[in-house]
Amino acid sequence: MERTLVLFKPDAVQRGLVGKILSRFEEKGLKIVGLKMRVFPEELLRTHYEVHKQRPFFEGLVKFMGSSPVVALALEGKDAITTTRTLMGETNCAKSAPGTIRGDFGMSFSHNLVHGSDGPDTAKSELALWFADPAEVCEWTPQQTTWVYDVEEEL
């Protein structure tokens, strides 16, 4: 089982898409283990996107991410990292395939609705950054687990 960080960016919240986007992940069978909403501090946003700090879009991205509330999620599931990225679609919404979140709901490269960790190391560090307090992460077993997975073979 893997865990990954997902963010619903300010455009998703402002456009009233929180419910629809959350449903994509829930209906897929990913388990929500953390969920919170706020305008996050600039320092956290800078750290989160540190890998892009030399890129020309960095300052605009940090400003955008701090311009309105963001929903932060910790999701758990088998191959949760790649599964989440597949559901999201590619970075540029305009080029993203129909059926994906970005492909179905967006038009923009920068205002692209969602973030998902891109690998096991990033997932680990991003979860430590956004869900530093263990009290904000719920350990629980959904009753549907044995219907989502073939537990004998897959877990």
Give dist(CA 26, CA 10) in Å, integer: 20
Q: Which among 23-31, 57-65, 68-76, 118-126 is the span making contact with Mg ion, rule CB under 5 A?
A: 118-126
Q: Which among 26-34, 111-119, 133-141, 145-153 is the span making contact with ligand UDP, rule CB under 6 A?
A: 111-119
The amino acid that residue 147 corresponds to is W
Residue nearest to Mg ion (CB): 118
Of 48, 52, 111, 115, which one is the catalytic site residue? 115
115 catalytic? Reply is yes
The whole-angstrom distance between residue 15's C-alpha and the CA centroid of its chain comes to 17
CB 10 within 8 A of CB 129: no
Q: How far is the CB of 38 from ligand UDP (least distance, A)?
A: 19
CB 33 within 8 A of CB 139: yes
Note the residues at the interface with Mg ion (CB under 5 A): 118
